[in-house]
Amino acid sequence: MQNEQHELLPLSEASRRLGVCLTTLRTWVREGRVPSYRVGKRFIRINWHELLAAIAGKNAERGE
């Protein structure tokens, strides 16, 4: 669906779905490993499909 392609999640929800610690996901965002979007001054959102693609790309680089 089109809406699912642009689903922006809070970091807490994205980390829960991915099964990683929130701190780990925050580190990946800070280091630029995964794309993120700032909403206002305080909130960061992640596109679920972009997150999966970024992780898949990292795994491919390592040969996994």
Using one digit for the tens of pLDDT, what is the confidence trace for 30-55? 999 999 999 999 999 999 999 999 98
Please tell me the distance from the alpha carbon of residue 16 to that of residue 28, in angstroms, as a whole number: 15
Token couple for 25? 């996901």
List the domains of the chain with CATH numbers.
2-62 (1.10.10)
Confidence (pTM): 0.78
Token couple for 30? 């800070």
Residue 26: closest CA among 7, 6, 51: 51
Per-residue pLDDT band for 15 (boundaries 50, 70, 90) equals: very high
Sheet holding 8-10, edge to edge: 8-10, 43-47, 37-39
Give the HSE-up count for residue 55: Cα atoms under 13 Å, Cβ half-sphere. Answer: 16
